[in-house]
Amino acid sequence: MSALRIGILGASRIAEQALVEPARILGHRLVACAARDRTRAESFAEKHGVERVLDSYQDVLDDPEVDVVYNPLANAMHAPWNLASIRAGKPVLTEKPSASTASEADRVRRAASRAGVPVMEGFHYLFHPVTERLQQLASDGTLGDLLRIETITHMPAPAEDDHRWHPELAGGALMDLGCYGLHAQRLFGSMAGGQPSVTAARLTPHPSGVDTGFDVDLSFPGGVTGRVTGSMTAPEYDFRIKITGTRGEALAHNFIKPNEDDRVTTIVNGDRRTENLGRRSSYTYQLEAFADHILHGASIPLDADDAVRNMAMIDRVVQVASRTDITRTR
């Protein structure tokens, strides 16, 4: 087998950029999809060249021609259908966050381990040269000793009927955006003396019961500090990572959408330099890595263990934030 035969759960907007276009570029087949509304699934299939529409998500999992599953459903449906994919023996590429809580993510991890079925959470930014360059700058001494890591994830408000406004669907800014910022902080843990701890957190509440924004302070064992901020009611998109050291700083201008802005700017000892790392989509890099793992056994930096650790940090943010009487329904 040289190409994946992919089954898609749902007919979500994110699927076009996260899977459909990367699959076309890389030569993988979209063999089946299903949605709660069959008409939506049929429109999705016609638009994106999916070979056939099935009646239910379970039918997609049971289809013998489906090798792997892509799960872009609402957050609260990630873990249940990841578990169903595992039961069907189908590796799954799941949108982030992979579960609603750490305990739920752990159930997925244990099931995946018992069945020997790969589960990869879609932190696509990790695979792009922009992120690889930041890791290099943070580890090779260019910036000196690390002092601070900042991640910013701001976006305009979703539509009123968007699932991110619904607490029963595990919506909110922390789940949708904070998972990126916290994951990125964890990524640099090996360069900052170990994994970070949450020292302070604040969530901004919305009448619906979700949070619209967050501010999280972190500390690393080596003395490095971190800060994660985010909002899903901002005037414009702003997805930055800034790393500060004793000799200078490095900035990724758009770590989540490097296909739109692939710059990494460093200022070291007063010398400013900007590099362009390529506009190829981070989703294409991600699908390439996932396929390489499934088809050829290549290692991947994301697995069910990592998903549990990230959800545990999200849970910890909620716990710490609740002490300030700004709570969030989970």
**Tens of pLDDT along 95-143?**
999 999 999 999 999 999 999 999 999 999 999 999 999 999 999 999 9
Whether 218 contacts 225, CB under 8 Å: yes
Whether 34 contacts 52, CB under 8 Å: no
Share of the chain above pLDDT 70, in %: 98
Distance CA 147, CA 244 (A): 6
Whether 68 contacts 4, CB under 8 Å: yes
47-94: pLDDT as tens digits: 999 999 999 999 999 999 999 999 999 999 999 999 999 999 999 999
Distance CA 197, CA 235 (A): 30
Distance of CA 288 to the CA centre of its chain: 16
Q: What's the burial of 255, exposed, middle or buried (CB within 10 Å: 0-12/13-18/19+)? A: buried
Distance CA 69, CA 4 (A): 10
Whether 111 contacts 91, CB under 8 Å: no
Q: Quick check: 325 pLDDT over 60?
A: no
Whether 50 contacts 22, CB under 8 Å: no
Whether 79 contacts 98, CB under 8 Å: yes
Residue in 35, 32, 30, 29 with CA at minimum distance from that of residue 12: 35
* β-bridge partners, 229: 152, 215
Distance CA 208, CA 165 (A): 7
Whether 232 contacts 123, CB under 8 Å: no
Q: What is the mean pLDDT of residues 244-265?
A: 98
Q: What is the mean pLDDT of residues 253-264?
A: 98
Distance CA 273, CA 249 (A): 11
Q: What is the mean pLDDT of residues 205-224?
A: 96
Whether 251 contacts 264, CB under 8 Å: yes
Sorting pLDDT into bands at 50, 70 and 90, what band is 190? confident
Q: What is the mean pLDDT of residues 305-311?
A: 97
Q: Quick check: 326 pLDDT over 60?
A: no
Q: What is the pTM of this model?
A: 0.94
Q: What is the mean pLDDT of residues 216-236?
A: 97
- pLDDT at position 330: 43
- pLDDT at position 169: 95
Element (H or E) spanning 256, and its range? none
